[in-house]
Amino acid sequence: MLSLGKINSLRVLRNATCGIFLGDDEDQEVLLPNKYVPEDLDPDHLLDVFLYTDSEDRIVATTLMPKLFLHQFAVLEVKDVTKIGAFLDWGLEKDLLLPLSEQMGRYLTGDKVTVCLCLDENTDRLFASAKLHECTDQELSVREGEEVDLLIDRESELGWQVVINDRHIGLIFFDKIFKPLRKGDRVKGFIDNIREDGKIDVSLQKQGYSQVEDSQALLFQKLQENNGILYLTDKSDANLISQELGMSKKVFKKCVGALYKQRKINIESDRIVLLEE
């Protein structure tokens, strides 16, 4: 079965003037235009292609890879705004339509919008939706403490809204952020808390002692990279510690204390120094 919005592994059927025809196990065919046909194409092997519809709503194949696949989220740039909606750059020659009915505000050319790739099964057309909550799963598929993939969406009064594993919406509170974040960043995170109303709090660091262990390793690595010296102490500004190490001052102090007890560092008035083994 040909699957729009996804990677399909198809076999070469025959050559045509405008390209080659590919097919699946159900004898469905799709055209791969000449400009996308690999020079070293082996007719005996399957070819991985992305399927979407062209300007005449015909299903076509391409070897170009878009910035998101069906039911995935991404931050895309607005290329043009028209009466029917905004057109987004998703990495293919034909821009992706974000219909007016799927928008959450007014957009201008150059704006960055977080969207999900959706499929209208009645017309076989792919489209973008900025209604993130309608595109995410209502049934939770994560648990507290679990490591997850995050797409940074937008800044709110409380913190940064994120998309979790392309399935849920969550929030990183400002007091859990110890490194710069930008809309569109993809980072690892951890499920901090799942509230009774189903809302999800996310952290960029593990919780509990495992967080301190990871941070210890990071601090030790930073010392090695800086010739065994870091000009940071327990009296250093919390923002400076966050900027240099991406951790809170509280965690930093625990790490320094642990490494000192292990006799791996020496603490001086304005610095910490790595001891030779």
Encode pLDDT of 21-51 as tens digits: 999 988 899 999 999 998 888 777 789 999 9
Residues paired with residue 24 on neighbouring β-strands, in sequence order: none
- DSSP state letters, 223-261: HHHTTTEE---TTS-HHHHHHHHSS-HHHHHHHHHHHHH
Q: Give which of 10, 11, 135 is closest to 70, Cα–Cα.
A: 135
- Does the pLDDT at position 241 exceed 60? yes
d(CA 182, CA 277): 40
CATH of the domain at 154: 2.40.50.140
| Mean pLDDT for the stretch of residues 65-94 | 97
Task: Say whether pLDDT at 221 is over 90.
Answer: no
Q: Tell me if 1 is assigned to some domain.
A: no
- Biggest CA pair distance of the chain: 76
Rg, Å, the chain Cα set: 25
140 domain residue, yes or no:
no
- Which residue shows structure tokens 């008035």? 269
Q: What's at 124, amino acid-wise?
A: D
Q: Which domain holds residue 99?
A: 73-134
Q: Is residue 46, in this structure, part of any structural domain at all?
A: yes
In a domain, 32, yes or no: yes
Residue 190 and residue 207: Cα distance in Å, rounded? 8
Query: How is residue 145 written in tokens?
Result: 């403490």
234: confidence class by pLDDT, cuts 50, 70, 90: confident
Give the separation between CA 130 and CA 123, rounded to whole angstroms.
20
- 163-173: average pLDDT: 96
In a domain, 35, yes or no: yes
Q: How far apart are CA 145 and CA 193, in angstroms?
A: 8
Number of domains in the chain: 4
Based on the domain organization, do 155 and 194 belong to the same domain?
Answer: yes
Instruction: Please list, in sequence order, all residues whose beta carbon lies within 8 angstroms of the beta carbon of residue 5, skipping any fewer than 6 positions away.
Output: 50, 51, 52, 69, 70, 71, 117, 119, 126
DSSP at 174:
G
Same domain, 229 and 264: yes
Q: What is the pTM of this model?
A: 0.77
Classify residue 86: in a domain, yes or no. yes
